[in-house]
Amino acid sequence: MSVTSEDMNQGMTYRRYKDGDDKIRDWQDKIFQASWTHKCPTYVQSTPPCQGSCPAGEDIRGYLNIVRGMEKAPAGVAMQEYAFRRLTEANPFPSVMGRVCPAPCESGCNRNEVDDRVGINSVEHYLGEYAIQNKLGFTKPEKESGKKVAIIGGGPAGLSAAYQLRLKGHGVTIFDEHDQLGGMMRYGIPGFRTPRDVLDAEIQRILDLGVESKLGVHVGKDVTLEQLEKDFDAIFVALGAQAGRALPVDGADAPNCVTGMAFLRAFNEGRLRYVGKRVVVIGGGDTSIDVATVARRLGHIKHEHDKDRPDYVIQGQVAHDVGAVAAAEGAEVVLISRAAVDKMAAAKHEVEEALAEGIAIRGGLTPVEVIKGADGRATGLKVRKLEIQGGKAVEVEGSDEIIEADLIVAAIGQAVDFTGMEWMNNGKGLVNATKNYQIPGKANYFVGGDVIKPHLLTTAIGHGAIAADGIDRFLNKEEQDKRPKIDVHYFDLLRKMHEAGQDPEEFHTLTKQQIRETEGFAKDIDLGLRGTSNAKFAVHNFENRADKYVIPADELFLGHFSETPRNVRGYVTLSSDTVLGHFEERLSALDDKQVVAEAKRCMSCGLCFECDNCVVYCPQTAVKKTPKKEAVTGRYVYTDYDRCVGCHICADVCPTGYIQMGLGE
């Protein structure tokens, strides 16, 4: 690998030996043992940490390699469409998730050990926008199974399961108590974070597969589970957890003390148009940030009548008059958290944006009591300081203070409404599930999403996909398989070979003549079957460990990668003076050139990205490029073992850790 003067001027990103290291690796004695070789290279596909960290199991490395141009799309298919289809094998909501997912994939990215994470969300956002703009749809199943599945809940878990089940040919009907599908994506996240036209487009793409929906139907009230059992072959429970948890302190029964989920639902349904002058939010997670930022945008009105009170609207009694919104003024919003501000569960960039918008965030406080006035309404929240002692948060006596409030919003957790389905409640307000997301003791019932444990939207999407696999096996009367250790969608070499017309031949026993021809034997040998590297019925010298092994940064050659700044999406940062009434989206997608440049920052951990290092540095010319007519992604090079002496150089200079010295174990 040549180095230019420009490269030399960039900061050093990697050193094999660090300051203080006093041991030199002693591996020479393991390489040459008289006249025989200890080990030779083999090609091992592993899961990169981005995929291993993705709750939806996206083939992140796969679609990044497509965007960067390393993996070519089939003839007649645009790069963007090919990458979109790879991405949506796991997640049918790339445009929504590219905006709102907190991206645990980026936290796990090995590129963090070089300079900065790869902007995976940015690429996902771009591909999602491309698909909407170009009206890409999903391919309908070729055959119908004749089986029918009822899905209770049209949120991310329910829609994900519906999508995967339709691809398998099963009939699907979604039952949802709301007027529209989307669940938390619609009723729990503000529209300035998930534009409704984007959400609608991605939901419609699923419905276009032939998914039916029955809206305004509460299963357990409007229709019984017994009826669903008669009409459907299996049931997927994706109730979600859209009921909020009340503040567990004295005085929390005040009418103007509400939950974060009720607050956001009233806003997202268009009923809540303004809040009180002084709003106190209790939480620390993403929901509390959403509540606080919505309150800052809504503001308050000076002359408030009883019907104008926000709690009346939140509790569903009346909707705000649109005409009064023009008179809104800024609201004072305070967010308190038991955790320190830098330890809050909310995404760091969301906390920073909230502070910029004029929200006061105070950590290390716990609510003690809601203070009421003579009319029974809350006038303030008494809080107490917390100190960490012996690893535990301890209340500091004598540190109480009262924060004045016209509206108190508790965003401290979520709850499930089990009305009509009480038997599912495990006593903790959730539903038990097996690793295949089957309800124990109920073979035809499966479950996923927040009803198992409230978590990320992308987690619910992953639950839906895994449950769909289990439902499919149940409908086909198959045993529930043990889930792989790493439950992700990953690059499939055999699929790529099929696209290139290089499917392996059907296995057959080699004749003596074939052995002589393929291996060059000069005389007859008395063997019925012999190992060979030339037969076409196998993919030789390749092992797929992607279902069980995540490759860490210390198995890569990080010295190959120079510092390359991340391509950052455009973001409108609001101030306390500009936030009032600002409901437009703040995030903009990368352009065509930026997204390719960002994808090229991916280090393709665990899969060859065709850098040529192994070919260039092999002293025996044992590592060679695969003939062009036989080459596909993942089969770019091969080893001539007649030349290989096991010197390890190819493995040492492989940036992605794809080459491992495995033969000879």
Q: Which pLDDT tens digit goes with each residue over 103-135?
A: 999 999 999 999 999 999 999 999 999 999 999
Residue 530: what pLDDT? Answer: 53
- Tell me the CATH number for domain 26-46+493-504+539-561+602-665: 3.30.70
Number of C-beta neighbours around residue 504 at 10 A: 14
**Average pLDDT score over residue span 430-457:** 94
Residues above pLDDT 90, as percent of the chain: 71
pLDDT tens-digit readout, 300-318: 887 666 666 888 788 776 6
> Which tokens is 563 given?
């510092």
Element of type H or E holding 108: helix 104-108
Nearest Cα residue to 641 out of 607, 617, 608, 618: 618
- Confidence tier at 5 by pLDDT (50, 70, 90): very low
* 296: pLDDT strictly greater than 90: yes
Which pLDDT belongs to residue 499?
85
**pLDDT for the residue 502:** 83
Report the run of H or E that residue 151 belongs to, with start and end: strand 148-152
User: Vertex 637, ends 633 and 641: CA angle to 5°?
Assistant: 145
pLDDT exceeds cutoff 70 at 323: no
- Domain 244-415 is in which class? alpha beta
Q: Provide the pLDDT for residue 320.
A: 60
Contacts of residues 469-473 at CB distance under 8 Å and 24 or more positions apart, as own/partner, are 469/164, 469/436, 470/436, 470/437, 470/438, 470/446, 471/149, 471/161, 471/165, 471/170, 471/234, 471/236, 471/446, 472/165, 472/168, 472/170
Q: What is the tally of helices (H) and strands (E) in the chain?
A: 22, 25
Q: If DSSP states are collapsed to H, E and C, what string results for 427-482? A: CCCCCCCCCCCECCCCCCEEECHHHCCCCCHHHHHHHHHHHHHHHHHHHCCCCCCC
Kindly report, residue by residue over 255-267, the tens digit of the pLDDT: 999 999 999 999 9
Partners of 111 in beta bridges: none
* Residue 568 main-chain phi, psi, to 5 deg: -100, 135
pLDDT for the residue numbered 11: 54
Instruction: List helix spans (H) across 476-612.
Output: 493-499, 512-519, 592-599
* Rounded Cα distance, 109 and 470, in Å: 30
Rounded Cα gap, residues 226 and 444, in angstroms: 12
CA distance 415 to 426: 13
Which segment of 143-147, 206-210, 499-503 scores lowest on mean pLDDT?
A: 499-503
Question: What pLDDT shows up at residue 34?
Answer: 39
CATH of segment(s) 148-241+416-475:
3.50.50.60
Structure tokens at 652: 């040492």
Q: Which two tokens stand for residue 213?
A: 């929906």
Using one digit for the tens of pLDDT, what is the confidence trace for 468-485?
A: 999 999 999 999 988 888
3-state DSSP of 31-75: HEECCEECCEEEEEECECHHHHHCCCCCCHHHHHHHHHCCCCCCC
**Residue type for position 113:** E
Q: Hey, how many other C-beta atoms are within 10 angstroms of the C-beta on 171? A: 18
Average pLDDT, the chain: 89
**pLDDT at residue 495 above 90?**
no
C-alpha triplet 431, 436, 439: angle, nearest 5°? 35
Of 371, 256, 276, 261, give the one whose Cα is nearest residue 317.
256
The average pLDDT across 221-249 equals 94
Query: Per-residue pLDDT for 279 more than 80?
Result: yes
What does the DSSP assignment read for 305-320?
A: -GGG-HHHHHTTS-PP
Summarize pLDDT for 76-103 with one digit per residue, the tens.
Answer: 999 999 999 999 999 999 999 999 999 9
> Residue 646 has what pLDDT?
85
Asked whether the beta carbons of 411 and 288 are under 8 A apart, the reply is yes
Give the lowest-confidence range in 14-28, 392-406, 540-554: 14-28
- In the prediction, which pLDDT does 365 show? 96
Dump pLDDT digits (tens) for 509-535: 666 666 666 555 444 444 445 556 666
The two structure tokens encoding residue 602: 């991916």
Which CATH number describes the domain made up of 49-136+567-600? 1.10.1060.10
Cβ burial 204-236 (10 Å sphere, 16+ → b, else e): ebbbebebebeeeeebbeebebeebeeebbbbb
Burial 293-321 (b: 16+ CB within 10 A, else e): bbbbbbbbbeeeeeebbbbbbbeeeeebe
d(CA 205, CA 173): 15
CA–CA gap between residue 341 and residue 362 (Å, rounded): 7
Q: Once rounded to an integer, what is the mean pLDDT over residues 404-413? A: 95
As to burial, measured by CB atoms within 10 angstroms (0-12 exposed, 13-18 middle, 19+ buried), residue 68 is buried
Q: What is the mean pLDDT of residues 65-71?
A: 96
At 538 the pLDDT is 74
Alpha-carbon span 569 to 557, nearest angstrom: 29
The residues of the chain that CATH labels 3.50.50.60 are: 148-241+416-475, 244-415
86: CB partners within 8 A, 6+ apart: 59, 62, 63, 66
Q: Where in the chain is the domain with CATH 3.30.70?
A: 26-46+493-504+539-561+602-665
Which is it for the CA torsion 528, 532, 534, 535, positive or negative?
positive
> Residue 12's pLDDT is what?
52
pLDDT tens-place string over residues 345-396: 998 989 999 999 999 999 999 999 999 999 999 999 999 999 988 888 899 9
* Range list for CATH 1.10.1060.10 in the chain: 49-136+567-600
CA pair distance 299, 327, nearest whole angstrom = 9
pLDDT value of residue 235: 98
Rounded Cα gap, residues 404 and 380, in angstroms:
4
| pLDDT mean over 17-46 | 66
